[in-house]
Amino acid sequence: MSLSDFPRVELAHKPTALEAMPNMSATLGGPNLYMKRDDCTGLAMGGNKARQLEYYLGEAVAQEADTVIITGAVQSNFVRQAAAAARKLGMDIHIQLEERVAGKDETYRTSGNVLLDKLLGATMHSFPVGEDEAAADAALEKIADDVRAAGGKPYVVHLGIDHPPLGSLGYVESALETVGQAESQSIRLDAVVLASGSAATHSGFLVGLRQGGSKVPVYGICVRRGAEQQLPRVQRRVREVAEMVGATDVVGDDDVMVRDTWLGPGYGELTPEVTEALEMTAQTEGILLDPVYTAKTMAGLIGLVREGAFGADENVLFLHTGGQPALFGYAQLLA
Ligand SMILES: Cc1ncc(COP(=O)(O)O)c(C=O)c1O
């Protein structure tokens, strides 16, 4: 099998830019920093999920589905972009919002991604249990039964690890695109830093780099769970994705690195390092990150630079995966 064997629809603006961050590099006084702008994929304010949804919704279209069903945290970017993708393809959309993050205020529940979900006309469901992937997926099946009973044809985007990582394929593609850009811009990449959540982005990007002939280390910064749980999850995904695209001979478990030093109290929880990363990136480069994923990941990059993980003449790429609408959901918490 190869990438082109999987059904895909066009949703993302591609290629996204690969650009230098000279001011932030100077501020940190360390390596040369670069950014891959996957926050600029276009679909309903952009982000990494546009590339992932190209493969999920490719399968949905192949199955002639008319309704997409998906789950995520209250301020999920995935459900927001899935709602936009479904609309673009003329489908109905049901989203289930999980109470994964405790004690958040009214703005968290109504602004940011939630506001956009409503604007996109998604039918909203609540999942009060919180962090339980299997139960969240089971609840999606119940919604799918109801859609079927009403004469619809549902397509479920599952959360759990037991379902094939179609979304990772979008990140195999993003990495291949990056390898080509680095080559044409004469940038020798020495390291990549990216967010490691569901592991779709991390696994896909790593497999894509190796398939594209790049051996650079990829630092996965934990944004969702601790390293002990995240490492086997990413390794499993890497094995599956490598199998899916015929790259088992170029990538393996030893290629996977995760760091949870900057996770703080947990998923979606702010830390002083997150605030520092948000402000430093905005005030040196005019680039906005998000509070849940990319600022935590940038806090990881800043921390790695301060640990001396990179040489001063090395080129380090940050993968910007988007998420900025959540800034408004976190407005009061950030203030
Ligand atoms: C903005 C943003 N960045 C990074 C991630 C993490 O990506 P993944 O779930 O593919 O690990 C997400 C996931 O929801 C996201 O919304």
Q: Which residues contact 47 (CB under 8 A, 6 or more apart)?
A: 38, 39, 41, 77, 81, 321, 322, 323, 324
Residue 41 Cβ inside 6 Å of ligand 1? The answer reads no
Mean pLDDT of all residues in 201-210: 98
pLDDT at 116 over 90: yes
Q: State the Cα–Cα distance between residues 182 and 186, nearest whole angstrom.
A: 6
How far is the centre of ligand 1, averaged over its atoms, from the C-alpha of 319 (Å)? 11
**Topology of 64-157 in CATH?**
Rossmann fold (3.40.50)
Instruction: Give the β-pairing of 18-20 and 32-37.
Output: antiparallel
Distance CA 42, CA 13 (A): 6
For ligand 1, mutation pick of 224, 278, 292, 298 (most atoms within 8 Å of CB): 292
* pLDDT score recorded for residue 332: 86
| pLDDT of residue 293 exceeding 90 | yes
Q: What is the 3-state secondary structure (H, E, C) of 227-283?
A: HHHHHHHHHHHHHHHHHHHCCCCCCCHHHCEEECCCCCCCCCCCCHHHHHHHHHHHH
Q: What are phi and psi of 13, to 5 degrees?
A: -80, 120
- pTM of the model as a whole: 0.98
pLDDT at 103: 74
55 lines ligand 1 (CB under 6 A): no
**Pocket residue to mutate for ligand 1, from 77, 267, 301, most atoms within 8 A of Cβ:** 77
Whether 131 has a pLDDT exceeding 90, the answer reads no
Q: What is the mean pLDDT of residues 19-40?
A: 97
Average pLDDT over residues 16-31: 97
Ranges 20-24, 101-105, 241-245, 277-281: which has the least confidence: 101-105
Residue 53 confidence (pLDDT) above 80: yes
**Per-residue model confidence (pLDDT) at position 235:** 98
pLDDT at 130 over 80: no
Mean pLDDT of the chain: 96
Distance CA(65)–CA(153), nearest Å, equals: 5
User: How do residues 229-271 score in pLDDT, each as one tens digit?
Assistant: 999 999 999 999 999 999 999 999 999 999 999 999 999 999 9
Beta-strand ranges (E) seen in 67-212 are 67-73, 92-98, 123-127, 154-157, 191-196
The pLDDT of residue 335 is above 90: no
Assess whether the C-beta atom of 293 lies below 6 angstroms from ligand 1: yes
Sign of CA dihedral 272, 284, 196, 6: positive
Question: Tens digits of per-residue pLDDT, 141-175?
Answer: 999 999 999 999 999 999 899 999 999 999 999 99
Mean pLDDT value across residues 299-319: 98
Q: pLDDT confidence of 40, banded at 50, 70, 90?
A: very high
The per-residue pLDDT for 102 is 78
Contact 130, 100 (CB under 8 A): yes
Is residue 71 lining ligand 1, measured as CB closer than 6 Å? no
Residue 197 CA, closest ligand 1 atom number: 11
Region 64-76: mean pLDDT is: 97
pLDDT at 320: 98
* Closest residue by Cα to residue 41 from 89, 88, 96, 81: 81
Residues 6+ apart with CB under 8 A from 183: none
Residue-range domain boundaries for the chain: 3-47+164-334, 64-157
**The two domains 3-47+164-334 and 64-157 share their CATH topology (first three levels equal):** yes
Residue 47 CA to ligand 1 centre (angstroms): 8
Question: For residue 104, what pLDDT is reported?
Answer: 81
Which among 164, 192, 166 has a CA at the least distance from the CA of 310? 192
How many angstroms separate the alpha carbon of residue 203 from the centre of ligand 1?
12
Residue 126: active-site member:
no
**Which one from 2, 4, 25, 76 is the annotated catalytic residue?**
76
Of the listed ranges 5-14, 65-74, 130-139, the one predicted with least confidence: 130-139
> Does ligand 1 come within 6 angstroms of the Cβ of 75?
no
The domain 3-47+164-334 is placed in CATH, from the list 3.40.50.1370, 3.40.50.1100, 3.40.50.300, 3.30.70.3000, at 3.40.50.1100
Structure tokens at 191: 């390291």
pLDDT at res. 183: 98
pLDDT of residue 273: 98
Sign of torsion over alpha carbons 179, 177, 300, 19: positive
> Residue 195: its pLDDT value, please?
98
Q: What is the distance between the alpha carbons of residues 190 and 128, in angstroms, rounded to a whole number?
A: 43
